[in-house]
């Protein structure tokens, strides 16, 4: 069993989990990935993007702040529950990969039975958040469960588990939009497709950290599939992301400022993603982790631009 001083390779050893949290709580916080908060952001950002897309044709209201907070709490709970489930399913594989060998279930710090109980507690919190949502949005949220349950098994049978993660992690854009608009539209499905390509890209970068260990134990990923062609593949993937998000804004916007603001938001997002492709050394695990973490800033910049640029352009229009 690993010592308490040892930390998981892609976590921050100077973070609050390792420096300020009670020692007894640390394995549980690591199991839910509170030592790696980037995943919470990447789960919440699509929800907020869905809200912002819906508001291209609707005014913002005070209840939107409640929904945004509910999506953040839901992201904390469901990402923690999802990671717990993944670690239970993957415990034998994790023990054979250097980056994941110290995870609490794989290392034996937390038993499988205790992990299932922890998963249930987090899932109940996530289900509680559903009561804040309108009825249709609740059903849309619940429809994501088969994707979550299937995800850990995909890496065993296909080189495209990152594609499945793209379907799963961006389900929130559907929930966020439906919570505001009360319906599913072509613009929403187009945005979902665009964000799917975002996750396909950033999780390919993330998977490059493990490509050597994965090859040894037979785990499949797009990092292994693309290999030395990763940079070219990411240009295509991120390009598709930007084009689809711009198209979603054109389809959703009910005015020229709304449509132009949405297109500019997609263009800003594309600049962040192009920088990742240009600067990342895909054979350097630390550099891949750095680039992966940058997606928090890229995603938040996109959401803020999508929310703020259309009303700003509408306000400036009469002044022009």
Q: Helix, strand or coil for residue 292?
A: helix
Structure tokens at 29: 């916080």
Give the pLDDT score at 2: 41
Domain contains 111 = yes
> What single string gives the DSSP state of each residue in 13-54?
TTSHHHHTS-GGGHHHHHHTTTT-THHHHHHHHHHHHHHHHH
Give the pLDDT score at 174: 98
Structure tokens at 226: 């693309």
Domain contains 9 = no
Give the pLDDT score at 4: 42
CA neighbor of 105 nearest in space, from 11, 221, 2: 2
Domain contains 143 = yes
Give the pLDDT score at 46: 98
Domain contains 102 = yes
For the stretch 206-243, what's the b/e string if a residue is b when 16 or more beta carbons lie within 10 angstroms of its beta carbon? Answer: bbbbbbebbeeeebbbbbbbbeeebeebbeebbbbbbb
**Sign of the torsion formed by the C-alpha atoms of 202, 199, 74 and 107:** negative
Give the pLDDT score at 169: 95
Range of the domain at 201: 19-313
Q: How many domains does the chain have?
A: 1
Please tell me the distance from the alpha carbon of residue 122 to that of residue 166, in angstroms, as a whole number: 22
| CATH number of the CATH domain containing 240 | 1.10.357.140
Domain contains 265 = yes
Domain contains 120 = yes
Task: Enumerate residue ranges in the chain where pLDDT < 70.
Answer: 1-14, 318-320
What's the whole-model pTM score?
Answer: 0.91
Domain contains 128 = yes
Domain contains 123 = yes
Please tell me the distance from the alpha carbon of residue 188 to that of residue 248, in angstroms, as a whole number: 7
């Amino acid at each position: 069993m690993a010592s308490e001083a040892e930390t998981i390779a892609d976590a921050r050893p100077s973070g609050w989990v390792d420096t300020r949290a009670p020692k007894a709580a640390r394995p549980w916080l690591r199991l839910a990935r509170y030592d790696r908060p980037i995943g919470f952001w990447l789960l919440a950002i699509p929800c907020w993007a869905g809200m912002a897309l819906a508001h291209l044709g609707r005014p913002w209201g005070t209840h939107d702040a409640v929904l945004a907070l509910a999506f953040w709490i839901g992201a904390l709970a469901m990402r923690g529950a999802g990671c717990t489930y993944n670690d239970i399913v993957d415990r034998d594989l994790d023990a054979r990969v250097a980056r994941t060998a110290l995870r609490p279930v794989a290392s034996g710090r937390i038993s499988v039975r205790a992990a299932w109980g922890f998963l249930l507690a987090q899932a109940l919190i996530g289900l509680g958040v559903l009561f804040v949502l309108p009825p249709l949005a609740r059903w849309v949220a619940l429809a994501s469960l088969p994707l979550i349950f299937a995800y850990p098994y995909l890496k065993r049978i296909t080189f495209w588990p990152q594609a499945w993660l793209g379907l799963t992690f961006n389900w929130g854009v559907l929930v966020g939009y439906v919570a505001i608009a009360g319906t599913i539209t072509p613009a929403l499905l187009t945005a979902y497709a665009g964000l799917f390509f975002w996750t396909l890209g950033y999780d390919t970068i993330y998977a490059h950290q493990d490509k050597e260990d994965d090859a040894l134990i037979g785990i499949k990923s797009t990092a292994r599939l693309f290999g030395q062609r990763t940079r070219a593949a990411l240009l295509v993937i991120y390009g598709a992301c930007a084009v689809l998000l711009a198209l979603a804004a054109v389809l959703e916007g009910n005015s020229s400022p709304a449509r132009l603001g949405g297109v500019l938001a997609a263009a800003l997002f594309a600049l962040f993603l192009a920088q990742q492709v240009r600067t990342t050394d895909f054979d350097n695990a630390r550099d891949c982790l750095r680039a992966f973490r940058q997606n928090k800033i890229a995603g938040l910049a996109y959401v803020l631009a999508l929310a703020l640029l259309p009303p700003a352009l509408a306000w400036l229009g009469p002044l022009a």
